[in-house]
Amino acid sequence: MTYDEALDYITSLAPRGWRLGLDRMAEFCKRADLVQNDRQKFLHVAGTNGKGSTTAYLQSFLVECGFNTGAFFSPYVVDPRERIQHGRELIDKQDLASMTSELIPIAEAFTDTEFGGITEFEFKTALGFLFWKRKDCDWVALEVGLGGRLDATNVITAAASLIVSIGLDHMSILGNSIEEIAHEKAGIIKPSCPVVIGELPTEAEKVMICTAAELGAPLWLVGKEVTYEAMPDGFRVTTPVQQLSGLNPGLLGDKQPHNMALAIGGMNAAGIVLSEWNAQRGAKATSIPGRFQVLHARGRKWILDGAHNPDAALVLRHSLKHYLDPLERVVLVTNMISGHIPDSFYSVINGVADEAHVVPIGFHRALPPKETALSVQKTVQRCFAHDSLDEGLQAAIQNTTPDDTILVTGSFYLVGEVMSALSLLSEPLHP
């Protein structure tokens, strides 16, 4: 099987949708002998926003500590192999192809059984488990796909669980209130296994505290047991285990010091003590695409951020305020996929941009540009819906100067497509 054939097979599973439930995934892992909790140790990360960044900090810290490290990210932004990593490297194309070929007969055997067919996400998660097993990883930084309690990644027993944030997103699946969504995220907390919780709304924090108490899981809270503060040489992070200074997050954005501190808390809770040197190097080296990422391309400055719900939009708004000159003009390139609420998202970033270009996204759940434009027009008077991504990008470039900023947001899928479109002419801009 070639790499392209492997991707085609995995993509062919997409029409089965997203199934929340663990019985089939657990059986898949059993039949394929995928999960070795006695060998690989997992740091399991859930949250409405920030879980990708937190996973990236864990990955970077683990690598700097010298561990044989695996990592799993959801979703990918540009390259499908971003999901499954070893060290800081994406899974090799031939490894992905050969392991896909190996897992297909086991996966297909489920189709006509009471379990039903394996979904795309279940298959990709299984690929990760097999890859890390073959690489004999010591630790895996494992990001939840959706929710937590019934997510396919939740077949493992973690050395520590981390819950970054709770907000209103995927409400048709996870629940209509902060409390209901918090209960789903809290599903990754396991009996007697430590859990570290980020800064959450009060009602969500109560759910986490009660769940941890019921399961006998030691609990640390960011803001209480885990703290971070800005110092002249960087951030200082303090946990019940250690204090680390001179930490400078490798990712831009207002929430990154919080996510970095949470990752350190999670590692300490799992029994890993970092040297200050490794912590400093790990923080600075952390990288993940599409999180307030700043690029120069085609004579313009671009900020690409996968924010797609109101809480993430608020963080984006604050980050823009801190990063951009108050007089800097911003032009928006955007669209969203179904399952999110455009009116709520765009109302939060009201006033950020004075012009918007709504473009198609090459994903089966993408909203039509003209439909999204109806929401954008409520907050951005000059709004244009385009028939192609290239048309929208060209319009944004033509309507800006080198002193302006083009902001791409609303969907990680859109961010990835824009990054691909700009890749030949892109170079990172280091602030």
What pTM did the predictor assign? Answer: 0.93
Gap between the Cα atoms of 295 and 299, Å rounded: 10
38-91 pLDDT tens trace: 667 999 999 999 999 999 999 999 999 999 999 999 989 999 999 999 999 999
Gap between the Cα atoms of 265 and 272, Å rounded: 9
Is it the case that residue 426 has pLDDT exceeding 60? no
Gap between the Cα atoms of 200 and 215, Å rounded: 20
Is it the case that residue 431 has pLDDT exceeding 70? no
Pairing of strands 330-334, 405-409: parallel
Is it the case that residue 395 has pLDDT exceeding 50? yes
226 with 341, same domain: the answer is no
Gap between the Cα atoms of 82 and 73, Å rounded: 7
The neighbour count for residue 301, using CB atoms within 10 Å, is: 18
246 with 314, same domain: the answer is no
CATH number at residue 112: 3.40.1190.10
Report the SS3 class of residue 181: helix
235 with 362, same domain: the answer is no
pLDDT at 171: 60
Per the structure, the count of domains in the chain is: 2
Range of the domain at 31: 3-285
Pairing of strands 89-90, 84-86: antiparallel
148 with 34, same domain: the answer is yes
- Give the CA diameter of the chain: 62
Average pLDDT over residues 7-14: 96
Gap between the Cα atoms of 333 and 356, Å rounded: 6
| H or E element that contains 101 | helix 93-108
Is it the case that residue 428 has pLDDT exceeding 50? no
Local confidence band at 351 (pLDDT 50, 70, 90 cut-offs): very high
CATH number at residue 371: 3.90.190.20
pLDDT at 145: 92
251 with 297, same domain: the answer is no
123-182 pLDDT tens trace: 999 999 999 999 999 999 999 998 889 999 999 999 999 999 998 766 666 777 999 999
143 with 267, same domain: the answer is yes
281 with 298, same domain: the answer is no
Domain closes at, from 235, 251, 285: 285
pLDDT at 176: 77
194 with 267, same domain: the answer is yes
Of all residues in the chain, the percent with pLDDT exceeding 70 is 96
Of all residues in the chain, the percent with pLDDT exceeding 90 is 87
Report the SS3 class of residue 364: coil
Domain closes at, from 285, 311, 340: 285
Is it the case that residue 423 has pLDDT exceeding 90? no
182-225 pLDDT tens trace: 999 999 999 999 999 999 999 999 999 999 999 999 999 999 99
234 with 277, same domain: the answer is yes
224 with 306, same domain: the answer is no
Domain closes at, from 226, 256, 285: 285
333 with 194, same domain: the answer is no
